[in-house]
Structure 1
Amino acid sequence: MFADLTTMRASGKNEYIYFPNDPSKIVFFLKRGRVKIGKYTDDGKEIIKAILHPGEIFGEMSIAGQESRTDFAQALDDDVMICATNVDDIKKIMNKNAKLSMAITRSIGERLMNVERKMESLIFKDARTRIIDLLVQMADKRGKKIGDEILLKHDLTHQDIANLTATSRQTVTVTLNELKDQDLIYMERKKILIRDIAKLK
């Protein structure tokens, strides 16, 4: 039943899936590739809210009553594949499928908590701490434990990290180099090895 109500969409790298102020009528499920959720400030600076991976849902705030998008969604890879479903159809399915309803409700709750945590971080934490917090979150979510160390594979540029932490590219570069000099991390291209996550925190 669910498959009959979804439309598969392919998006190329840097293609926008939706923009701010677009009608919130579709919920998306990411099947392949990565999607960036973000917004632009009045002076044109990009702020990244999240980098999504396969299995994650986005655009789900429409289920909670959002009428227009407040952010944008953009494909980060050449072969992004998403399932698109009308919000009214999703609501009907949720009424009949408790497991799906719980999963989507949890996703909405997590998204709202992440926004709240990010706001608190911007208000109460300095740039270095925000960058470290991001590394810890990424390690917890996608890191691979190797002995006492954690290997984090990623595709983020220093500018991406800056946009995720509301800092500057220069600040990210300086902070990562300081952490490397302190032997808290080791960096290679698209890889960060966290030596001791307890000390990093």
Structure 2
Amino acid sequence: MTKEPSQGTQLASYLSADNFALMRQQMAFEAKAAGSHLFWESEPAHTCFFIEQGLVKIYRITEDGQELILHLLQPGDFYAELGSGDTPFSCSAEMMKDSVIGMFSTAALEQLIASRGDFAIEFMKWMGLLHRTTQSKFRDLMMFGKNGAIASTLIRMSNTYGKPSGNGILIDIKLTKTELAHLSGTTREGVSRMLSAYQANGAITYENGYLVITDLDYLRSIVQCPNCPPDICRM
């Protein structure tokens, strides 16, 4: 089962064809094996990354040693941390699947922004959307606790990976309960309890090992969903 990834925050959706081609021609593409790292937290953030193929998790390790997944980058996604001097990466990036990554120096990106006003405006709009997406994730976690974080994660997965199913919305990606816990800032046991509760309430079921959301409104009610557009309410 496959599905084209959401176009919501993909950089190519915000850059003109000419500007995207201009940036892409400066990239060096490399194959990366599942389990390998693009970068580690605290390394100098001298490189930007375009996901050509595969799946990449951006994550941090908390003070108590727990992993927190901040983003899952799909084909078409772009990742950069811009700052001054030797600004370090604030997190780490690991391949969840065999991937092909376009490498693009931060200096080259800054030069494009400085030299092309149209590129700068388009890039700023894309950065603004990413900021709104991050804000909405933290809203659900801070205001509605672990239950809200898990419900929010499932809603975002439905917008990013969902496809119509006879029973509802099939999530066309398999994540373990541990990975769901890392995405929602909770424990595997907490995820297991909440998924069981959702299933008992008729909000989710399973089909050939894939999670199916059968009552999206139930999950939305947990986080008092403000009906953000899908390009913000995504992974």
Q: With the length of structure 1 as denominator, give the TM-score of the two structures.
A: 0.87
Contact 1:57/1:107 (<8 A) preserved: no
Residue 60 (structure 2) pairs with residue 51 (structure 1): no
Pick aligned residue for 2:43 from 22, 30, 34: 22
What secondary structure does 1:61 align onto? coil
Letter paired with 1:111: L
Pick aligned residue for 1:69 from 89, 105, 110: 89
Pick aligned residue for 2:135 from 116, 136, 140: 116
The whole-number CA distance in structure 2 between the counterparts of 1:121 and 1:69 is 25
Which deviates the most, 172-181 or 120-129?
Answer: 120-129
**Matched residue, 1:9:** 30
What secondary structure does 2:81 align onto? helix
Residue 199 (structure 2) pairs with residue 180 (structure 1): yes
Letter paired with 2:218: K
Letter paired with 2:72: I
Structure 1 unaligned regions, length at least 5? none
**Matched residue, 1:152:** 171
C-alpha displacement at 1:132, in angstroms? Answer: 1.0
Letter paired with 1:35: V
Which deviates the most, 111-120 or 24-33?
Answer: 111-120
**Matched residue, 1:90:** 109
C-alpha displacement at 1:97, in angstroms? Answer: 7.0
CA 1:42–1:116 in 2, change beyond 3 Å: closer, same or farther?
same
C-alpha displacement at 1:174, in angstroms? Answer: 1.2
C-alpha displacement at 1:184, in angstroms? Answer: 1.2
CA 1:50–1:145 in 2, change beyond 3 Å: closer, same or farther?
same
Residue 219 (structure 2) pairs with residue 200 (structure 1): yes
C-alpha displacement at 1:148, in angstroms? Answer: 7.5
C-alpha displacement at 1:147, in angstroms? Answer: 6.2
Higher relative contact order (CA 8 A, sep 6+): 2
CA root-mean-square deviation: 2.1
The whole-number CA distance in structure 2 between the counterparts of 1:138 and 1:102 is 29
Which deviates the most, 88-97 or 10-19?
Answer: 88-97
Residue 60 (structure 2) pairs with residue 39 (structure 1): yes
Q: What is the percent sequence identity of the aligned residues?
A: 22
CA 1:111–1:177 in 2, change beyond 3 Å: closer, same or farther?
same
Letter paired with 1:183: G
Letter paired with 1:61: E
Letter paired with 1:127: K
Structure 2 unaligned regions, length at least 5? 1-21, 221-235
CA 1:33–1:195 in 2, change beyond 3 Å: closer, same or farther?
same
Instruction: Give the aligned length.
Output: 197
The whole-number CA distance in structure 2 between the counterparts of 1:39 and 1:82 is 20
Contact 2:203/2:219 (<8 A) preserved: yes
Contact 2:137/2:152 (<8 A) preserved: no
The whole-number CA distance in structure 1 between the counterparts of 2:90 and 2:135 is 16
Letter paired with 1:52: L
**Matched residue, 2:154:** 135
What secondary structure does 2:140 align onto? helix
CA 1:103–1:152 in 2, change beyond 3 Å: closer, same or farther?
farther
**Matched residue, 2:190:** 171
